[in-house]
């Protein structure tokens, strides 16, 4: 393991430079004979990890929707390295960036229409897993990225996210079975008390098109099973109040076939 010393000195201490961030190094000290570079067996072997690089982009950026009376996004990410000796901070402000201090992270949220930027600042933390909630507006689209606020820091790739409309179901998933059964799942929106009783409507179009008249199936549960004669259907889901006063936007049309392939139908 220690065939040849990497550094020799006559002092009782030495500085080792040019180490890589977030890496493990093994250190040991041994005596070298005056006429040879072969060291005696080293003692006090220690493994030391280097710390986080403040310029590296965070990892695993994810965005999820939290339905509530005041809708929010849950933004989560990981520090680029778990070795954090000095607590790191994270940040938010609108409509333009605020001055920042070193050692913090920035969550940059760009609203597409109207164009506006928000920077979120959080209390300092030594945690490697972090989260931030952000109040948003129904139906708006956002571009989100995270970086430390060190000068020259690299941000994560941008994650785009469109907030569901008021009462709109979201996160629709489709699966199919070889015998011709299609199963539609979705997440339920926040429904305030004044909407009253409500139900969902599942729109089923034959094939990969919205040209034909759909079959509309009411259901009270966030799951629907359809069995038809075709190998491919297009599905959309909406919410309607029992009295007909409230009606949500429909979800984006999703196409499912019996081969298990799912795609979004472009209607622009």
Cα dist. 130→66, 122, 148, 162 in Å? 17, 10, 13, 22
Whether the pLDDT of residue 99 is over 70: the answer is: no
For the chain, give every residue range classified as CATH 2.60.40.10: 59-162, 170-264
What strands lie across the sheet with 170-176, from one edge to the other? 170-176, 181-187, 223-227
CA atoms within 13 A on the CB side of 152: 3
Domain 59-162, CATH: 2.60.40.10
Q: What is the pLDDT of residues 138-178, one digit of tens each?
A: 998 888 888 887 778 888 888 889 999 999 999 999 999 98
CATH number given to 170-264:
2.60.40.10
Q: Give me the residues paired with residue 216 across strands.
A: 203
Residue 138 CA to residue 111 CA, distance in Å, equals: 12
CB 169 within 8 A of CB 189: yes
Which residues fall within 8 angstroms of residue 144, CB to CB, at 6 or more apart?
61, 63, 73, 75, 107, 108, 109, 110, 158, 159, 160, 161
Whole-model pTM above 0.85? no
Q: Is the pLDDT of residue 98 over 80?
A: no
Contact 158, 111 (CB under 8 A): no
**Strands 262-264 and 59-66, bridge-based pairing:** unpaired
Q: Distance from first CA to last CA of the chain, Å, rounded?
A: 63
């Amino acid at each position: 393991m220690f065939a040849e010393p990497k550094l020799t000195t006559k002092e009782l201490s030495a500085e080792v430079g040019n180490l890589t961030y977030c890496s493990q190094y093994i250190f040991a000290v041994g005596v070298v004979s005056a006429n040879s570079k072969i060291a005696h067996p080293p003692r006090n072997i220690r493994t030391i990890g280097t710390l986080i690089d403040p310029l590296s982009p965070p990892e695993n950026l994810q965005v999820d929707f939290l339905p509530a009376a005041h809708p929010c996004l849950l933004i989560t990410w990981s520090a680029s390295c778990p070795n954090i000796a000095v607590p790191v901070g994270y940040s938010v402000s609108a409509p333009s960036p605020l001055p920042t201090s070193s050692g913090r992270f920035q969550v940059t949220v760009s609203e597409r229409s109207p164009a506006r930027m928000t920077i979120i600042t959080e209390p300092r933390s030594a945690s490697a897993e972090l989260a931030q909630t952000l109040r948003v507006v129904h139906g708006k689209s956002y571009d989100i990225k995270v970086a430390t606020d060190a000068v020259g820091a690299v941000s994560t790739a941008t994650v785009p996210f469109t907030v569901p409309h008021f009462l709109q179901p979201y996160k629709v998933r489709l699966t199919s079975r070889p015998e011709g059964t299609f199963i539609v799942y979705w997440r339920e929106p926040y429904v305030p008390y004044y909407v009253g009783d409500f139900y969902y409507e599942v729109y089923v179009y034959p094939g990969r098109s919205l040209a034909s008249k759909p079959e509309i199936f009411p259901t009270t549960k966030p799951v629907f099973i359809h069995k038809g004669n075709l190998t491919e259907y297009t599905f959309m889901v909406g919410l309607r109040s029992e009295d007909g006063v409230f009606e949500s936007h429909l979800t984006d049309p999703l196409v499912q076939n019996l081969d298990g392939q799912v795609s979004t139908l472009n209607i622009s």
